[in-house]
């Protein structure tokens, strides 16, 4: 079974540019999550999809971040325009179940974003 994959692994952009990160979850996993780790800080939740619907987007920092999951398969996270404080590692995770009672999230390798 293939794991969660993310693309690109690294991205270096200038302030004001746009970047789109992609996540492919484990096949059959309805739940998809985005997290972010800013350097020196803890990993923080951004949002949660169940299939193509946003279940919880309480962690999205501001409206420069747009996440989509058209068709309920892969997801993209777009940052437009990027700011210096957006630098960090963006993790994607997926899980099978629709309930939080016994659900386990499996993480991708992350995308390291550097905004100059």
Closest separation between CB of residue 102 and another protein, Å?
5
Task: Identify whether the C-beta of residue 13 lies closer than 8 Å to the C-beta of residue 82.
Answer: yes
**Residue 45 binds another protein (CB under 8 A):** yes
**Residue 65 binds another protein (CB under 8 A):** no
Partners of 111 in the β-ladder: 90
Taking CB under 8 A as the criterion, the residue among 43, 68, 76, 87 binding another protein is 43
Distance CA 82, CA 16 (A): 5
**Residue 1 binds another protein (CB under 8 A):** no
Residue 32 corresponds to which tokens in the numbers above? Answer: 């998809």
Q: Which stretch binds another protein (CB under 8 A): 19-27, 60-68, 78-86, 99-107?
A: 99-107
DSSP string, 25-45: PPTT--EEEEEEE-TTS-EEE
Taking CB under 8 A as the criterion, the residue among 17, 72, 109, 112 binding another protein is 109
Which phi and psi (to 5°) does residue 106 adopt?
A: -115, 130
Question: Which parts of this chain interact with another protein (CB under 8 A)?
Answer: 3-4, 31, 33, 35, 41-45, 48, 55-56, 58-59, 91, 93, 95, 100-110
């Amino acid at each position: 079974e293939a794991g969660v994959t993310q693309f690109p692994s690294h991205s270096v952009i200038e302030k004001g540019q746009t970047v789109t990160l992609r996540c492919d979850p484990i096949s059959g996993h309805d739940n998809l999550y985005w997290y972010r780790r800013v350097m020196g800080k803890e990993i923080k939740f951004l949002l949660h999809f169940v299939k193509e619907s946003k279940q919880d987007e309480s962690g999205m920092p501001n409206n420069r971040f747009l996440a989509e999951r058209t068709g309920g398969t892969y997801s993209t996270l777009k940052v437009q325009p990027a700011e210096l404080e957006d630098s960090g590692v963006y993790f994607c995770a997926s899980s099978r179940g629709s309930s939080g009672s016994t659900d386990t999230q499996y993480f991708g390798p992350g995308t390291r974003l550097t905004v100059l």
